[in-house]
Amino acid sequence: MTNPPGSRREQLPAEVLALLPPRPYLSTACDTAWLLDAARLQHPDRDDLAEHAHRMHDRCRLTHKFTGAPCVCGCHH
């Protein structure tokens, strides 16, 4: 069964989360989009990379699956 975005089913209990030091969360999708943007600089002839990066940003989970921390990528603000 898939875990839909926004679902809290797999998040850790609040008392466990309180024990963890907070750190910024960058989703895998947004991290990959940033790598695609960097690849565009190295390969300016590849017009498709911008579209792939945009698609990856659109796929962002927005919140960490287990902790609920929001993604800090600038594309969401």
Please write the tens of the pLDDT for every residue from 6-39: 777 888 888 998 898 888 999 999 999 999 999 9
Residue 67 pLDDT greater than 90, yes or no: no
Where do the structural domains in the chain lie, given as residue ranges? 25-76
User: How confident is the model at residue 1, as a pLDDT?
Assistant: 58
Contacts of 77 (CB under 8 A, 6+ apart): none
70 and 63 Cβ atoms separated by less than 8 Å: yes
64 and 28 Cβ atoms separated by less than 8 Å: no
pTM over 0.85: no
Residue 6 buriedness (CB in 10 A; 0-12 / 13-18 / 19+): exposed
User: How confident is the model at residue 72, as a pLDDT?
Assistant: 96
